[in-house]
Structure 1
Amino acid sequence: MQKIIFYTVIMLVSFVGQTFAQEKTFEEQAREIGNQIEMITKEEKKALKVEIEALDKQIIKGEITKEKAEELKLKIAQERASNIETKVAIEEEKLNQLVQDKVDGKVDFASDTLTYKFGNRLMISFEKYKKDTINNKPKEYKERRTTSQFVFALGLNNLITKGENIEKSDFRVAGSHFYEWGITYNSRILKSNNLLHAKYGFSVMYNNLRPTDNRLFVKNGNQTELQTAAVDLKESRFRNVQLVFPAHLEFDFTPKKLSNDGTKTYYRTHELFRLGLGGYGGFNLKSKQITRYELDGDKVKDKQKGDFNTSNFVYGLSGYIGYGQTSLYVKYDMNPLFKDNAVDQNNISLGLRFDFN
């Protein structure tokens, strides 16, 4: 029985067509769902690019102001990000159902045949799989030059103020932090060499700043300033949430490997030292300031949402170096945090990055 259960992982799934039946393996179905998720992301990014280019043309023609265009671009970016989240959730549910079908016993066994209950019940032979297993025939390796990873990063966050040393920062070093999560695709550039890879995808970044000396941000016209609070603040935190599209040139020093029978060469990633250099560009989705304090013996928590004169578009440089799936990660916003302040302040982050295959 254990051997038969193993065979179900690699069995063919027969779909009923009006004129023919097409057999697909469990792995192929799962890969199709993964490809659909990738297609959703690419289509939404392509549509976003087209819409932004259309707004840029309207600016050139004088049909719309630059400020109005930036407002519309931000709204469009939020809608596209929501579309990705909604559509990907549907595909993830399909994948969960595919796996659950295995677990729930929707595979029947009868001597040397498997019956898969997918709509109509169709019989398919797995005699070939039994024969290959008995003869210890090695599994065929299918080369893939592009793989995907789930990225999670966290660490310290701060601002570099023009003309000032970061050691004299207006923000708590340990209390100011960042988080990032996203999806990346890793494509080997050279067919027969594993060193160079193009790494690209999308991420959601959360940059948090905690001011020192009982201060908080106050919007004063087109300027955003740190001012001393009128009450004793238990917490003062300023957060920016951004949707960005990073791209890196990655150097992966994982060596090539041979198949079990020594006849084929294949390439792994994220097993030895890696170095990535590149940057990112995207949109600031929202800014929020959170304060906590006590007033007449009551605990008060305020949340203030607004643009705070922050830059709507973000872009910067980033890089990482590490071993396996773990890296030391740094990113620097080349755009100022506040677009109209007299003195530019640029966000910088340093932490750990995890690329989970």
Structure 2
Amino acid sequence: MSKIYAQNFSVKAELIASNIENIVNEEKQALKKAVEAVNVELDKGNINKTQADEQKLKLAETSAAAIEKRVAAEEAKLTELVKQKVDGKISEKSVSPGEVLISIIKNNPPKRNDTIERSEKRTTSQFIYAFGVNNLMTKERLAHSDFRYMGSHFFEWGMTYNTRILKDNNLLHLTYGFSVMYNSLRATDNRYFVENGNKTGLQEAGIHLKDTRFKNVNLVVPMYLEFDFSGNQIKDDKPFFKTHKSARFGLGGFAGVNLKTKQTLKFDDEFGNSVVQKTKGDFNVNDFVYGVGAYVGYKETSLYIKYDLNPLFRNNTADQNNISLGLRFDLN
């Protein structure tokens, strides 16, 4: 890159953003190839369905960790860039649009016919990431919750396939794949979850708790009917389809299994030492989970809500169902 680009804040920031997008795309494609290789082994009968699902989960976890590590490095560059701008070490010397285009092409050369080839495919894939607030609906009511509204969170990541339903119309799509959901709850009033036989409830701690977190990890298969208003185009007398370029919304649901339940308590012991106590167990949590969800947004970003139709705990007198609200990103 020439000196003029190195001294321009907006160009360098744009290049960092482009690098982050390329990282996600590279890791997504690598994950897709690895998953396809597992499917080949499954079709050959070398492994069974359970083994295939376990391998896919490990591959997805490895991919997510790689994305997090590589993106963190780019975010560190951006933080340093902003610091230099504040300190006045980077000038605002203007450059022409042509120079910016040359800079981007030099750092990120386009793949030949990539856009056209993708537009002609009936099925494409996306890496999804979602996060937001989480809570429990008790007797179908959310008011006066036993859990912190802003302190309880959810995270979700996974891979989906997006299939255009109609051959010559771009409106209706079916999305499906797999996701790992992390639903966390932080109880109010210095309480934590305790198993009492086949029931699980909140109990006040005998000591001051600095923090509590009750986390469930679920592996689910989501399926949504998506309405995409990106529209159709004609190019070289052929229909040209794009996705995630305009407003869209999806309605559907998910079903899966609980992978892990863990409770974390943080407190100071009688000697003033900071203690972190982690307990993995059953906690009478349902082994299976299923629910409904919806999202509405523009391009790759959506407002996202999901609700578990089955209660969190198997045998409690009052049903408590998980509900989450946040942002969702579908990255092509």
TM-score using structure 1 length: 0.65
SS of equivalent to 1:168:
coil
Structure 1 CA distance for aligned equivalents of residues 202 and 277 of structure 2: 17
Contact 1:222 1:309 in 2 (8 A): yes
Amino acid at match of 2:326: G
How far, CA to CA, are the matches of 1:257 and 1:192 in structure 2? 10
- Alpha carbons of structure 1 residues 335 and 192: separation in structure 2 relative to 1, 3 Å: same
Distance 1:159 1:278, change over 3 A: same
Superposition pairs of residues 1-357 of structure 1, within 5 angstroms: 34=32, 37-38=35-36, 40=38, 76=50, 80-86=52-58, 141-142=116-117, 143-162=120-139, 165-259=141-235, 262-296=236-270, 297-357=272-332
Cα offset, 1:82, TM superposition:
2.8
TM-superposition CA deviations, 1:136-160 (whole Å, max 9, x none): xx96943101000000000000000
Amino acid at match of 1:273: A
Instruction: Tell me how far apart the structure 1 counterparts of residues 52 and 305 of structure 2 sit (CA, whole Å).
Output: 27
Shift, 1:40, TM fit: 2.9
1:246 partner amino acid: P
Q: Is the 8 A contact 1:37 1:91 kept in 2?
A: no
CA gap 1:150/1:33 in 2 versus in 1, 3 angstroms: closer
SS in structure 2 of the partner of residue 166 of structure 1:
coil
- Counterpart residue number, 1:112: none
CA positional deviation for 1:43: 7.2
Query: Which residue type is aligned with residue 254 of structure 2?
Result: Y
Contact 2:244/2:300 (CA < 8 Å) preserved in 1?
A: yes
CA contact (8 A) 1:40 1:88 kept: no
The 2-side partners of 1:169 and 1:91 are apart by 36
8 Å contact from structure 1 (residues 156, 176) kept in 2: yes
For 1:83, the aligned partner's letter is: Q
Q: CA RMSD in A?
A: 2.9
Query: In 2 relative to 1, CA 278–271 (structure 1 residues): closer, same or farther, beyond 3 Å?
Result: same
User: How many residues are paired up?
Assistant: 252
Structure 2 Cα separation of the partners of residues 158 and 167 of structure 1: 10
Distance 1:341 1:43, change over 3 A: farther
| Superposed displacement of residue 167, structure 1 | 2.1
Q: Is the 8 A contact 2:133 2:150 kept in 1?
A: yes
TM-score w.r.t. the length of structure 2 is 0.70
Deviations 1:43-90 (CA, angstroms, capped at 9, x unpaired)? 769x9xx87xxxxxxxxxxxxxxxxxxxxxxxx5xx544311456799
Aligned residue identity for 1:241: V
Structure with more contact order per residue of length (Cα contacts < 8 Å, sep ≥ 6): 2
d(CA) in 2 for partners of 1:149 and 1:206?
Answer: 19
Q: Deviations over 1:279-310 (max 9, x none)?
A: 00000001000000011211111001101000
Match in the other structure for 2:69: none
Percent of residue pairs bearing the same amino acid type: 52
Q: Distance in 1 between matches of 2:210 and 2:33?
A: 48
Alpha-carbon distance in 2 for matches of 1:31, 1:299? 43
Task: Indicate conservation of the 8 Å contact 1:154/1:352, yes or no.
Answer: yes
Structure 2 CA distance for partners of 1:237 and 1:36, relative to 1, 3 Å? closer
Q: Which amino acid aligns with 1:331?
A: K
- TM superposition shift of 1:263: 2.1
* Distance in 1 separating the partners of 2:175 and 2:182: 21
Deviation at 1:348, TM superposition (A): 0.3
Unaligned runs of 5+ in 2: 1-27, 65-111
Distance 1:201 1:348 in 2: 21
